[in-house]
Amino acid sequence: MKLPEKETEFLKWYSEVISYANIVDNRSPVKGANVLMPYGYSIWESIRNKLDAELKKTGHKNAYFPLFIPEDYLKRESEHFKGFIPEVAWVTHAGDRKLDRKLALRPTSETIMYEMFHLWIRSHVDLPFKINQFCNIIRFDTKETKPLLRDREFLWSEGHTCHATAEEAEEQVKESMVIYENVYREACMSFLILRRPKYDTFAGAIYSIAYDSPLPDGRTLQIGTTHNLGQGFSKAFDITFQDKDKQNRNVHQTCYGLSTRLVAAIIGLHGDEKGLIIPPFIAPIQIVIIPIYKKDNKDEVIEAAEQILKVLQKAGLRVELDKREGYTPGWKFNEWEVRGVPIRLEIGPKDIQKEQVVLVRRDNREKAFVPMKDAAKKSKTILKNMHKSLQKRADKLLKDSISHPKDYEELKEIQKTKRGFCRANWCGDEACGEKVKDDTGADIRGTREDIKEEPDGNCIICGKKAKEMVYIAPAY
């Protein structure tokens, strides 16, 4: 099997690799609502488990809220409702009976959650209040769909919090950023943390922070967002608490979301001409054991492989033994390479005689001949080294993706050729954002949230005095 060149035909490479690796089956009868296959879902489970642990460490509780949201709930926060109108899917009938009121299929859960928060929160002792929901989201985006990159139905986590003061909400925003960064670093991701322009802020929020990861074709992918909601929703839904002075006050709120888009980013960022490379600590299978035998020594090799399987599992490693009949070792090597398993462990009769195994690292294909007794220890070392290597490579891609155009003509040329992020001065005018979008297809993605950057010249688009240093890039 030969895949297209990733660097020159990224989308074609991506489409083929998610099919060959059994990540997604996009033959669903509903466009943009694809089947996440068991192996693809297991990658999402690994991400979800890491995220779940990080959320629980910081006091979040998991809950589940209805998929159906009454139209009048959305209208109670008019800015929010207006922002989602083009993407909302509606339920208007049950059988032949017209419903008394239209029901939206969850495009996000603020309104349905906050109706319940109004009922649950009474006193300052109930705060801070932190809820997370793992669920599916329905957004009938008008743009062209691409599996995991842009779906009309996808899986995600959405955290929602309530606080007594604006300062506590600000601290929660920072905490959410740490939570997400811990998840992203587990996946060896590179990304910019950007505060979106006001006109691109989540509907109903004071400000929005997004995590933008570069992909090999020069586009960026938003892999998560954090929003400071202020008191807009709490006033619309009357979410109040009695403070220590017996005064009723509206809570301050935040929310944040991370979806199966992260699976797409992992595939796109780390894969190569052989297929996927799954970062070791989120890989659902960290080691695959391939026994190599002939008919007369099959039992001996399988028995040895099963013993190694037990040892590795006892050491806390996620391992699969591929004993399938009817497939050659070479065929299995290729399949597991496509699926991106970090380590392939080979064992045959000669290895048994030498009391060794062969460990093959997926990212650089280095082979190590290791004594059987050291297989678990060596595997853990390889996984750690592979993690560091993938992170270093991803960080280099991010660094290389950032250009510093000296004028608007150079910016347009960069976006016409290599694309990526252009770091540039901006006056803050939305009209300039629209102009660069029309001229190049790239968006003003925002200002750095993690570091302070000041403008050092005039707006690269209109020439007026700049107010911000921004990053401009095309996005999926």
For residue 344, the domain's CATH number is: 3.40.50.800
Distance of CA 212 to the CA centre of its chain: 10
Residue 234 falls inside a structural domain: yes
Based on the fold, state whether residues 44 and 102 are members of the same structural domain.
yes
- What's the pLDDT at 74? 87
Domain boundary among the residues 270, 301, 336 is at 270
Based on the fold, state whether residues 26 and 169 are members of the same structural domain.
yes
- What's the pLDDT at 457? 96
What is the C-alpha to C-alpha distance for residues 347 and 357, in angstroms, rounded to an integer? Answer: 5
Residue 433 falls inside a structural domain: yes
Beta strands, E only, 356-419: 356-361, 367-371, 402-403
Based on the fold, state whether residues 167 and 206 are members of the same structural domain.
yes
Based on the fold, state whether residues 79 and 213 are members of the same structural domain.
yes
Residue 425 falls inside a structural domain: yes
For the chain, what is the domain count?
3
Based on the fold, state whether residues 356 and 306 are members of the same structural domain.
yes
Beta strands, E only, 322-455: 343-347, 356-361, 367-371, 402-403, 421-426, 443-448
- What's the pLDDT at 134? 98
- What's the pLDDT at 130? 98
- What's the pLDDT at 135? 98
The bridge status of strand 287-291 relative to strand 343-347 is parallel
Q: What is the CATH number of the domain that holds 239?
A: 3.30.930.10
Torsion sign across C-alpha atoms 321, 326, 331, 336: negative
Based on the fold, state whether residues 167 and 21 are members of the same structural domain.
yes
Residue 276 falls inside a structural domain: no
Please check whether residue 415 is in contact with residue 441, taking contact to mean a CB–CB distance below 8 angstroms: yes
Residue 23 falls inside a structural domain: yes
Q: Please, what is the end-to-end C-alpha distance for the chain in angstroms?
A: 28
Residue 75 falls inside a structural domain: yes
What is the C-alpha to C-alpha distance for residues 309 and 95, in angstroms, rounded to an integer? Answer: 53
Based on the fold, state whether residues 178 and 318 are members of the same structural domain.
no
Based on the fold, state whether residues 222 and 364 are members of the same structural domain.
no
Based on the fold, state whether residues 60 and 204 are members of the same structural domain.
yes
Domain boundary among the residues 243, 270, 297 is at 270
What is the C-alpha to C-alpha distance for residues 299 and 306, in angstroms, rounded to an integer? Answer: 11
Q: What is the CATH number of the domain that holds 461?
A: 3.30.110.30
Based on the fold, state whether residues 261 and 296 are members of the same structural domain.
no
- What's the pLDDT at 85? 80
Q: How far is CA 250 from CA 125, 131, 208, 240, in A?
A: 14, 18, 21, 4
Based on the fold, state whether residues 339 and 421 are members of the same structural domain.
no
Q: Which domain holds residue 435?
A: 402-473
Tokens of 414: 């960069």
Residue 397 falls inside a structural domain: no
pTM of the entire structure? 0.95
Residue 281 falls inside a structural domain: no
Task: Find the helix or strand (DSSP H, E) in which 349 lies.
Answer: helix 349-354
Give residue 163's identity as a one-letter amino acid code: H
Average pLDDT along the chain, 476 residues, taken 10 residues at a time:
91 97 95 96 98 98 97 84 84 97 95 97 98 96 88 97 98 98 98 98 96 97 98 96 97 98 98 97 98 96 98 98 96 98 98 98 98 98 98 97 98 97 98 98 97 97 98 97
Give residue 97's identity as a one-letter amino acid code: R
Query: Nearest-CA neighbor of 202 among 256, 136, 132?
Result: 256
Give residue 87's identity as a one-letter amino acid code: E
Domain boundary among the residues 270, 301, 331 is at 270
- What's the pLDDT at 47? 98
Based on the fold, state whether residues 158 and 221 are members of the same structural domain.
yes
